[in-house]
Amino acid sequence: MTHFDIVPVDPSNHLLVQSWLDAQESVEEHDFRGLRPWHPLGALGALVVHDPDTRREKWAAVCDGEVLGYLDLTLSDRDNTHLAGFSIGVRPGSRRHGIGSALLRHAEERAAEDGRTSVSTWLAVPHESSPDVRGGGGPFLIDKGYKRSLEAAIRMCELAAVDEAALDRLWDDCAAKAEGFELVSFHGVPPERIIDGIAYLNNRMYTDMPLGDWDLQEGKVTADTVRGWERQRRQRGQLNLQTAAVHRESGEVAGLTEIQVLAGDERHCMQGNTIVDPRFRGHRLGTMLKIANQRRLQSMRPWMRYVWTGNAESNSQMIAINEAVGYRLAGHETVFQKKLG
């Protein structure tokens, strides 16, 4: 067994941080090739700019100054305070020496010390749609007592390959069913007249999306929470493009979608939340929101090539919308979960 120490990642220790980044890059290149590429600025931003309502502990397994493996532990202080999230990686050449087991044990011990009763992780797993994805993370977790709690599909939209004429026809069809609604596009802090509605829809994301057996509970998002998120994104150099559907008569926010662009990445970005309030469904708002926000992305980031998204496999309605606007199956991911105690 290789001797190593598990230590916090100190942002002021430049050699440690560089080795920590190298370890993450090696894992991403070996295990998840063909999916959205890893970018170091995302990891660096999360290391030095803390979440407003979540603690993220960064740990490294270090031997002779080299990071062999890493752990990112997420502890929300706003809601879901029973749950801890984590991600773990070990350099391909350092596996089968007990490093992953030690990091996982450390994650579970830290979660238990913080009063958490469930731990979970999202993990891209080998699938026929992503032949270059490999790694034994899934079997490793199952062997450690984890259960598959939610199955999800990863899709990618290659913007240059989208049939814009077909998208125009789809837009016209949706617009005929969406009279009485206006679309409001923005980035940064939402306009004051809709910020409470934006917070409300973000809360609904915790309960409206299919969860399988994943132990995610109701959220506690307020307007101040949304402001804190946008302040954090600005400090990390992230751009969050959002489009909301507003019901003209009542002024209520009926739907929302977002695309997130990480600092320094002009080729790959991430489709975030999309949701329509159940009271306003049946007007094709979800599809209109996706088209409007996707085209806004293209106007603001003309060199952007790919947009990535994930959906629970059971979420057939959202999958149909995504495929209609240009997304194609690219991989598979699973939530693995374990109850503590």
CA 58 to chain centre: 18
Who wins on pLDDT, 1 or 207?
Answer: 207
- CATH architecture type of domain 5-116: 3-Layer(aba) Sandwich (3.40)
* pLDDT 10s digits, 71-80: 999 999 999 9
Residues 279 and 253: beta-carbon distance below 8 Å: no
* Residue 320 pLDDT: 96
Residue limits of CATH 3.40.630.30 in the chain? 5-116, 156-332
* pLDDT 10s digits, 56-75: 999 999 999 999 999 999 99
% of the chain surpassing 90 pLDDT = 93
Question: Going by C-beta distance under 8 Å and a sequence separation of 6 or more, which residues neighbour residue 251?
Answer: 193
The DSSP bridge partners found for residue 8 are 59
Q: So what CATH class is 156-332?
A: alpha beta
Q: Determine the Cα–Cα distance for residues 27 and 100; give it in Å rounded to an integer.
A: 12
Residue 1 has pLDDT above 60, yes or no: no
What's the maximum distance between 2 C-alpha atoms anywhere in the chain? 67
Residue 32 has pLDDT above 70, yes or no: yes
- The whole model's pTM is what? 0.95
* Residue 48 pLDDT: 95
DSSP string, 283-329: S-HHHHHHHHHHHHHHHH-TT--EEEEEEETT-HHHHHHHHHTTEEE
Overall average pLDDT of the 228-257 stretch:
97
Confidence of residue 167 (pLDDT cuts 50, 70, 90): very high
* pLDDT 10s digits, 318-327: 999 999 999 9
Q: What one-letter code names the amino acid at 110?
A: R
By CB neighbour count within 10 A (0-12 exposed, 13-18 middle, 19+ buried), where does 113 fall?
A: exposed
* Residue 209 pLDDT: 82
* Residue 208 pLDDT: 84
* Residue 135 pLDDT: 82
